């Protein structure tokens, strides 16, 4: 399959394919998957629509939707990013020889073909039209708002020291003053406008199994824009020369909650991508647990809710990895025979989640499907 040149180049730069995905693609482009692994009502032909997500299409075709790369027949010489699918494309399901393949060319049984999005000239970027894996509205705030850092990162980050006109609580449109540590003043850096995210209350994220502190989750409050750098000013006072710190000037450009003195500033990170292929982790995940459900005083997770988990990049977790949620079976006392034996009920599979923002030791994941109510401490395994 081929894409229009400019879109191919752009997407190749912004949507990398992992070595594991590429190896899987090379194998299954030839073999496909067993027809028995298709969803019962998998359509022979489907036209991709605006509003579709890769996960929804995966579920339409597969009993195990995280195995999407294995179904998608592709020619890797032409397609560098095979999981990019666009509205208007027609997907054809080939079940020749008891093996299933999905392509954009009818009845070939092979991955080659040409994607033609429209017979007329397009003036919009194809890279921006690619289907997201998930509904972007569900996770987009979490790509910039909560952040996991080590204790020192927040402790030594620049801080708000005062509001303009003695304002104590600051909101959008207010001016404030901030400073860094003595050896790291808050100054403008070359390049685009300097923006910072404002955080408070770095809450420790503790592994439910080992009690190890995996990081600190900083509470997102808003954004400020740096207007003037921190400087110093020397003046005469009581006949002596005194040097005072002149804090940096910042303007509040967004506020989720009111900002106050003592809140910390961290640089605005690059925007993360919203499209990636759902897939099982490359290795076996052991001792995986849900750490917490995102939100103040929230104990149980609902579908489409964000949770933090105790696995990250050091454990081989990548964006797009799907994990199964197991309800941690309770320990009970058997009172049915008079012996009062202690029993551990079986762990029951109750749902799936997908990692969308991994850090070194923890990750944020979206709960995709549930049959019961997940909570902190529930187990995570390969799907």
Q: Give tens-digit pLDDT for 160-213.
A: 999 988 788 898 999 999 999 888 888 888 877 788 989 887 788 889 888 889
Taking 60 as the threshold, does the pLDDT of residue 12 lie above it? no
Determine what percent of the chain is predicted with pLDDT higher than 90: 21
Determine what percent of the chain is predicted with pLDDT higher than 70: 76
Average pLDDT, the chain: 78
Confidence tier at 129 by pLDDT (50, 70, 90): low
Average of per-residue pLDDT across 301-326: 90
Average of per-residue pLDDT across 93-111: 70
pLDDT for 297 equals: 59
More confident position, 88 or 263: 263
Q: Which two tokens stand for residue 334?
A: 């058997």
More confident position, 108 or 361: 361
pLDDT for 117 equals: 44
More confident position, 7 or 45: 45
pLDDT for 114 equals: 45
Taking 80 as the threshold, does the pLDDT of residue 217 lie above it? yes
pLDDT for 330 equals: 85
Confidence tier at 216 by pLDDT (50, 70, 90): confident
Taking 80 as the threshold, does the pLDDT of residue 336 lie above it? yes
pLDDT for 99 equals: 84
| Those residues with Cβ within 8 angstroms of residue 110's Cβ, 6 or more apart along the chain or in another chain | 73, 101, 103
Q: How would you class 250 by CB atoms within 10 Å of its CB: exposed for 0-12, middle for 13-18, buried for 19 or more? A: buried
226-248 pLDDT, tens digit per residue, is 999 988 888 888 788 888 888 99
More confident position, 57 or 295: 57
Tell me how far apart the alpha carbons of residues 101 and 80 are, in angstroms, rounded to a whole number. Answer: 18
């Amino acid at each position: 399959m081929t894409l229009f040149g400019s879109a191919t180049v752009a997407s190749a730069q912004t949507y990398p394919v992992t070595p594991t995905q590429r190896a899987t693609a090379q194998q299954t482009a030839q073999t496909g998957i067993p027809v028995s692994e298709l969803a019962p009502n998998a359509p022979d032909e489907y036209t991709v629509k605006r509003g579709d997500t890769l996960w929804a299409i995966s579920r339409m075709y597969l009993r195990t939707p995280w195995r999407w790369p294995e179904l998608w027949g592709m020619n890797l010489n032409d397609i560098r990013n095979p999981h990019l699918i666009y509205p208007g494309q027609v997907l054809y399901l080939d079940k020749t020889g008891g093996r299933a393949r999905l392509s954009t060319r009818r009845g070939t049984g092979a991955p080659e073909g040409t994607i033609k999005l429209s017979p007329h000239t397009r003036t919009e970027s194809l890279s921006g039209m690619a289907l997201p894996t998930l509904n972007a509205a569900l996770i987009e705030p979490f790509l910039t708002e909560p952040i996991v850092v080590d204790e020192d990162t927040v402790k030594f980050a620049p801080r708000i020291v005062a509001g303009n006109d003695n304002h104590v609580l600051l909101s959008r449109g207010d001016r404030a003053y901030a400073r860094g540590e003595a050896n790291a003043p808050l100054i403008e850096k070359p390049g685009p406008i300097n923006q910072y995210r404002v955080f408070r209350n770095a809450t420790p994220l503790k592994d439910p199994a080992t009690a190890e502190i995996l990081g600190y989750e900083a509470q997102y409050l808003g954004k400020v824009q740096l207007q003037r750098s921190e400087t110093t000013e020397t003046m005469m006072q009581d006949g002596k020369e005194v040097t005072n710190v002149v804090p940096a000037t910042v303007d509040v450009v967004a506020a989720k909650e009111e900002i106050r003195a003592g809140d910390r500033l961290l640089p605005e990170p690059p925007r993360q991508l919203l499209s990636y292929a759902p897939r099982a982790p490359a290795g076996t995940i052991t001792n995986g647990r849900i750490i917490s459900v995102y939100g103040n005083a929230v104990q149980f997770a609902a579908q489409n809710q964000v949770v933090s988990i105790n696995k990250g990049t050091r454990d081989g977790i990548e964006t797009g990895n799907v994990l199964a949620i197991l309800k941690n079976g309770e320990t009970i006392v058997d009172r049915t025979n008079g012996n009062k034996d202690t029993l551990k009920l079986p762990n029951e599979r109750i749902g799936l989640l997908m990692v969308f923002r991994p850090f070194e030791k923890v990750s944020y994941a979206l709960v995709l499907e549930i049959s019961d109510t997940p909570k902190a401490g529930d187990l995570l395994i390969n799907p």
